[in-house]
Every structure is written in C-alpha cells, then in structure tokens.
Amino acid sequence: MKKILLTVLAVLGFVLAANAESFGTFTITVNTPATIAIALRNVGDTGTYGAWAVGSLSLSASSTMITDQAVLVKNTSNVPVNLTAKASNTAAWSVGASAGSSVYAIALAANAALASVGVPATALSTSDVTIASSIAVGTNQFVLAKLSAPTASTTGIQQEITVTITAAQ
C-alpha cells in the first residue's frame, strides 16, 4: 500500500508540476495626439466673431472695445493652451508699440471673466505676443482691444488691420 501511495503521490506531484503556470507582464505606452483648437465667438456666444468696426478715428486718437464688442475665445482643444496674438501691417501703416507717423498701436487684454478683463495693455507686433497662459480645456477667455491711430498719415483711405489669435501648447 505504501508503494502504491508513493506512486500516486509521485504521479500527482508530476501532474501538479506540469500544470503550474508561469507568466510575465509588459507595459503599453500610448500617446494620443493633442488637438489644438480655438473658436472666436461674439461676446454672447451666439455666432462667430466678425469684425470690430471702429469707424472714423482722428490722428493720435484711440478707441477701446466696450464689453459688448469683446472677442470670446473658446478653448475647444483637448489640452490646456496658451494664447498668442499678432497684428498685421496695413497698406499704409505699420504696427508699433506706440503710435507714430504712419504707425498705429494695438493692445489686447484677456481674462476668463469679462468684468475682469481690464484695460488692454499688451502691445502687439507682427510677431506673436502671449496674451493668456494655461487656458484649461473647455474654458473661455474674453479679449478686449485698444487701437491707437497714427500721429500722422500719408493717406486718408480706410485701413484694415488683421489680428491673429493663436493657440499652442
């Protein structure tokens, strides 16, 4: 009986050893691409922002957007973004840090709360200038602008200024 029991235990031990599992693990690293996107909307978020129609502006005068004219910048990205802005030269005027002869100045201010935007003081140039940082996913910034007309101009023709707002990570 001992011989049979030992044989059964030996066979059972072999079966158990044959059925033992061995395993390993590995890691998968996946990077999903960031989607960077913003939408420029009117202050009431009822449509795409059109244009700020300043109208006639005397030499050396300035005009500042009122809150009803603010640009609503919506972060529709899937990551936080920084906002930069730049302004174009026109056919007759150049953009500068301050107004001068045939030089206009434009400044922006941005804030998540329209009532807290403040006086536009970040002067734009033809290169990107940071106007807001670390804008969370799904949040907004309100932007106001102040335009200062040149002190002298060689033309009385209407000028069209393009302001470009860019989002980047």
pLDDT score, position 19: 60
d(CA 37, CA 61): 35
pTM to 2 decimal places: 0.81
Q: Mean pLDDT in the chain? A: 90
Work out whether strand 81-87 and strand 163-168 pair parallel, antiparallel, or are unpaired.
Answer: antiparallel
d(CA 81, CA 84): 10
In percent, the amount of the chain with pLDDT more than 90 equals 80
pLDDT score, position 9: 43
CATH topology of domain 38-168: Immunoglobulin-like (2.60.40)
Report phi then psi at 31, rounded to 5: -110, 125
Residue pLDDT, tens place only, 65-82: 999 999 999 999 999 999
Strand-pair partners of 74: 39, 140
pLDDT score, position 7: 45
Domain coordinates in residue numbering, the chain: 38-168
